[in-house]
Amino acid sequence: MSAILLLYSTVDGHTRTICERIAPVIEAASHTVTLERIEDAGGIELSAYDKIVIGASIRYGRHRRSVFEFIEARLSALESRPTAFFTVNIVARKPEKDRPETNPYMRKFLRRTCWRPRLLDVFAGRLDYPRCRPLDRLAIRFILWLSKGPTDPNAVIEFTDWTRVDAFARRVAEM
């Protein structure tokens, strides 16, 4: 039995929802899970955990600074145990951009940090135009228009492949 720390960086909550899907799969494999927002994890004693997973969403082309700050501050703890990282973004709705090797944000992430998690994955996120602030809605609709995605301002679409999230969770349980 392992103690697994699941850290997430989210704005609208979808990355947390993904973690909430991952947690019971790991628990079903007899491990314990602690779920924490990465911004609140500064004081966590990482030596209490056997494995660490970080999930982070993309907003305007970037993972948040808090993700990199945590990784830099805790690099030695991350390097001394099995770890995993996943990114959540809308670009990943496209089959040709939904793998760690092909997703531009995962590639950018790996260029920005020297942390090399044992497992990497990419999940397509959730689009919720009605919930966006007007300027954000305009910007995202434009980005989606450029990439031939949905632009109906009333659209709420979850692109996440939950089967794939489950498969990732099982790999975390086994790593």
Ligand X SMILES: Cc1cc2nc3c(=O)[nH]c(=O)nc-3n(C[C@H](O)[C@H](O)[C@H](O)COP(=O)(O)O)c2cc1C
Residues within the interface to ligand X (CB under 6 A): 10-15, 57-61, 88-91, 125-127, 132, 136, 140
Please report how close the Cβ of residue 166 comes to ligand X at its closest, in angstroms: 18
The helix/strand/coil state of 143 is helix
When the beta carbons of 136 and 166 are compared against ligand X, the nearer one is 136
Longest distance between any two alpha carbons in the chain, whole Å = 48
When the beta carbons of 69 and 79 are compared against ligand X, the nearer one is 69
Q: How far apart are CA 100 and CA 115, in angstroms?
A: 15
Q: How far apart are CA 19 and CA 81, in angstroms?
A: 20
A 10 A CB-CB count for 155 gives 14
When the beta carbons of 45 and 101 are compared against ligand X, the nearer one is 101
A 10 A CB-CB count for 36 gives 13
Please report how close the Cβ of residue 66 comes to ligand X at its closest, in angstroms: 12
Please report how close the Cβ of residue 149 comes to ligand X at its closest, in angstroms: 10
Please report how close the Cβ of residue 64 comes to ligand X at its closest, in angstroms: 9
